[in-house]
Amino acid sequence: MKISSHGYKLIFLVIFALFFTAFISACAEKDKQKQAVQYHCPMHPTYIADKPGTCPICGMDLVAIEKSASDSADKKVEPLPLKEQAANNSEKPASNGKRKILFYRNPMNPPITSPVPAKDEMGMKYIPVYDDEVKQPEKKELKEHATVSLDEKGVRLAGIQTADAVKQKLDGDIRAVGLVKADEARMRHVHTKISGWIEKLYVNTTGQLVKAGQPLLTIYSPELLASQEEFLRARENAASFATSSIPEVRKGGEDLLKAGKKRLELFDVPESFINEIEKTGTPRRTVTLLAPVSGFVTTKMAYEGQQIEPGMELFTITDLSKVWIEADFYEFESRFIRVGQKGVISLAYNPGKEMTGRISYVYPYLDPQSRTLRARFEFQNDDFSLKPEMYVNVSMKVAVPDSVVIPDSAVINTGLRQIVFVSSGGDFFEPREVKTGYRSNGMAQVLSGVSAGEKVVVRANFLLDSESRLRAAILRSTEESKKGSGGK
């Protein structure tokens, strides 16, 4: 069968018509899908885009707008080009009349507003502010914050989590680093009260252990030699006056002898030395001075052959059988630091050894550099395991009575105040100023601002804080716009 040229043309036209119809249908379907799927910001629903991306206001990922079949059939949303969008898809009120535009605000600077649609210097369109966006519960707000309203989906996408404020005891530890110090009441300085020269030293090294009464040094002093001779002459005179029949003479001799002996004692001459020269009747060229107390030589300023003068420090002898441990605590912990508070001391070089003691003294001032309060513990140190200038770890248990407690992560420190967001029912998150007390183990004591049983935001609260500040700025702009309209 032969097909004429007219038949070929007809077949070609039919095939072309089929392909053209299919192409038109595909384009229409694609355009329909493009118009049907739109995206908006869960925190700023007025920002709408025709493809996925991020919100230019808060940076959150855009989510697809879920529409019912009736909404899709009745109305279409025409998004603005991305380069012109700021945070809104329309400059006019909604056609259904349920939402009313109050004014337009600058997307980058909310306090700047306009009663009519406008653009900023970057070409970004002003965002319309609707009446339902500035409607707030009738509660006292913070000046820089406003209540934030979010639907269930927005809460889920923002990752907001809440926890209950409970009333319970709050136990914790106060930890500090302590420093071993010598007991100041057990430190003794050895000075000379006369001038002379050191003939011999019996204690030659710092750190040497001495016992009370142990020889320290031998000194030659012309003054001491003269005092010995005076003492011996007074002794002879007292012996000769003892046979006198006149009581006053006998008493005068005895007084001279006592005065001579007292003079030697005041020069720290040992009593055994005085008894010896009294027995022999011969003065000695040098005198040996003895250690007044037992302890370790912590300072040595004396050397053989050295000339010494009255008041010169020769040795410092420290008794380390009892030592102090001084620990510095932060200023906010000072209310728990009191005399008698029990503490556990652990040593860095021997972690298995612990000692228990109590605070014996709390200093009445703070360190001006570290802003810490110092407390003192006293410990027996018979084995000398605690050495001065050694670091130790100090731990004390504290317990706060029943009070309202919330997770520490719920508190936002702004510098001027502490803020928490409380779920006030429905979709509202109310900012509140709180005062916190002791904090321990991730929990914070609340002194005021939150009651037991209320729910506080513990996650994504910084996101709520930024949105709350933004809405507060919108509210202030609304009030200023109303005042301006009333003035006109």
**Rounded CA separation 436/404 (Å):** 10
Task: Give CA–CA dist 263/453, Å, rounded.
Answer: 82
List the 127-130 sheet strands across, edge first.
113-114, 101-105, 127-130
What tens-digit pLDDT sequence spans the chain (488 residues)? Answer: 555 565 566 666 657 666 666 666 665 555 555 455 777 777 776 677 777 888 877 777 888 775 543 343 343 333 444 444 434 444 444 434 456 777 777 776 666 777 778 887 777 788 777 665 555 544 555 777 888 888 788 788 888 889 999 998 888 888 999 999 999 999 999 988 889 999 999 999 999 999 999 999 999 999 989 988 888 888 888 777 777 777 777 788 788 888 888 888 888 888 888 888 888 888 889 999 999 999 999 999 999 999 999 988 999 999 999 999 999 999 888 888 999 999 999 988 888 888 999 999 999 999 999 999 999 999 999 999 999 999 999 999 888 888 899 999 999 988 788 999 998 876 788 899 999 888 888 889 899 889 898 999 999 888 888 888 877 877 776 666 656 555 44
- Tell me the HSE value of 270 on the side-chain side, using a 13 A CA sphere: 18
Cα–Cα distance, 45 to 64 (Å, whole number)? 11
Q: Nearest to residue 428, comparing CAs of 454, 390, 395, 392?
A: 454
Report the C-alpha dihedral over residues 306, 310, 316, 318, rounded to 10 degrees.
Answer: 140
Q: Report how far residue 208's alpha carbon sits from residue 216's, in angstroms, rounded to the nearest whole number.
A: 11
Q: Could you write out the DSSP letters of every residue in 104-147?
A: EE-SS-TT-EESS--B-TTSPBPEEEEGGGS---SSPPPTT---
Q: What is the pTM of this model?
A: 0.58
Question: In whole angstroms, what is the distance from residue 422 CA to residue 286 CA?
Answer: 87
**Residue 161, phi then psi, degrees to nearest 5:** -130, 145
